[in-house]
Structures are given as structure tokens and as C-alpha cells.
Amino acid sequence: MARHLAHRLPTRPHPDAGHRPRAEILQLATMVQPRPPVHHEHFYVSYPAEHVIQVTINRPDKLNCINKATSREIALVWEQLDNDETLWVGIITGVGRAFCTGADLHEWNKMNETGEVNSMAAPGLAGLPRRAGKKPVIAAVNGLCLGGGFEMVANCDLVVASTSAKFALPEARRGIVPVAGCLPRLTRTLGLQRTMDLVLTGRQVDAKTLSDWGLVTRLVEGGDAEVAKAALEVAQDMCRNSPDALVVGRRGVRMAWEDGDVETAVSALEKDWYPLLMKGDNFAEGIRAFVERRAPQWKDSKL
């Protein structure tokens, strides 16, 4: 995977630099020299705002289906998100009229002809259907979201979708079953009968329907640019908060969703995660800022 260049101080200092501590000078340098996009064959990685990393699937001629090589490369981006303290939120979206139509079935056909088995092991297509992870990922669904693309979205933390987006699990029509991770997750989110409807018929439903059913969190008029912009606004709303709180809050919600035992999730948060939250600088800073009636100055999370 291509790596972005490390930030460097600008050759011409910011006019206020002489009166600021080094930490603030470095922050100014980051603002002057944002990270450049990193282009891969079928997607690119960008940094559209401070603390935000975005994957844009860019294979519109194939409706943004994902082959094995691309899947592995995108999975590495989520590892970067979790391991880079300066990154707090991820976004995934697509170019053109599709968000993602799942795995590349032409590649699958060649694999079938040679007897190769396509693994459904975690974390799944593009590292998302069975991702555990530490930090939130927002799906910005701009168009067709089919098969493995739907499986990816089912495990994202928030889903922003165009009103024109269409969702389906058409695997049964091709003799396949979506086993990469979405079936139990969608059942938890949508309920038994609605998930059965999608899986056993393979029919398409619109974003408004999935909003009513509880999967889509925000609806947006427009195409890929408008949906990506809306997702970025959500990400920036998150980044106004403590990055420690993002990690611990997300963990608590997902424990209840994934394990299904409410009291176990509450106990784990109280015994294991709350002490870690309290030890961090951001816990005291948020309270202090409230008392002093000012905006908090968050530090990157060490959790």
C-alpha cells in the first residue's frame, strides 16, 4: 500500500509562529500542508478534513465491484485509521452510479474454474463486513449497493445514503448466500422478517425504506458529491468531540449490538473502559472547558 508523506514544517513560517509553542506550530503546518490523496488502481484515499480519512471506490465501469487485491488494500486503510492517533473517523463512498456492487464475479468465475475457494474469513470484503476495529466508519452510499457492498454497509457505524440509492442482496439468484457477515447483523438491525424478505427474494429496496427500517441514518438528495459532503459533515460533528469518547462510546454500543447482553456490555464499559477514559487527558479537559466556558482542546486518543 502506498504511504503518505510525513508532514513537514513549511519553509516560510506562519506569521504567528514566533509567538506559539511548538505543538501549535506543528498544527499550523498540518493546516498549511494537508495530506495529499493516495491513488490506487480501483480506489483512492483522501483526507478531506482534519482527523478524517476517506476511501472512494473508483471503478465505475464495473459498478465499483471489488476484486481480491483491492479488498486487501482497502482493509489496510482501516488499519491505518485505527493505528494513526491523528485519525479519528473514516468514510467510505463510491464514484458514479454505484456505491459498491460487491465482489468481482468475473474473478470469482475464474476462481471456480481453477477450484480456488474464495475465503469468507474476517474481516471480509474491503475489511468491513466483519470488522471490529476501534474507530467509527461512515458509509456514504451514493448509488447501487448490492451483495457484498450491502454486507460492508451493514457493519458500518453510520449510514448516509442518497435518496436514489438502491440496496439488495441478490446472491440467491446466483446460487450464493451472503455469508460474509451481514445476515446476523441485519437481523439485529432490521428484524427477522425484513431480513428474510431481502435475503430470500433478492429484491431491491430504496434508501427511504431502509431509513424507515433503521439502517440508514441520514437521507441526502443528490449524487456522490452531495452524499460524500453530508458524510463529511457528520464526521466533522464527531471530530468536535473527544476522540477518547468516540472510541469508548462506539465500543459500548457495539458490545450491546454484537453480544446481545445488555448488562454484560454495561459492566464491561464500567469496569474496563471507563477507568481508561478517566486516565486520558481529554476526560479532564472536557469538564474543565465546560467550567471555564470555552471550547475544549482535544488531544489525539491514546486508547
Q: What is the DSSP string of 162-184?
A: ETT-EEE-GGGGGT---TTTHHH
Cβ distance 183 to 199 under 8 Å? yes
pLDDT(131) > 80: yes
Structure confidence at residue 120 (pLDDT): 78
Range 2-14 average pLDDT: 34
pLDDT digits (tens, 9 = 90+) for 61-86: 999 999 999 999 999 999 999 999 99
Catalytic residues: 151, 171
The string of pLDDT tens digits covering residues 167-214 is: 999 999 988 899 999 999 999 999 999 999 999 999 999 999 999 999
Residue 19 has pLDDT above 90, yes or no: no
**Percent of the chain clearing pLDDT 90 (strictly above):** 72
pLDDT of residue 30: 44
E-state strands within 89-190:
89-94, 98-100, 137-141, 144-146, 158-162, 166-168
Percent residues over pLDDT 70 in the chain: 89
| 22 has a pLDDT exceeding 50 | no
Confidence at residue 33, expressed as pLDDT on a 0 to 100 scale? 59
Can you tell me the mean pLDDT for 254-268? 85
Q: Residue 24's pLDDT is what?
A: 47
User: 52 pairs with which residues across the strands?
Assistant: 49, 89
Q: What is the pLDDT of residue 263?
A: 84
Average the pLDDT over each of 27-31, 109-113, 156-160, 278-282 and give the range with the smallest value: 27-31
With cut-offs at 50, 70 and 90, classify the pLDDT of residue 10. very low
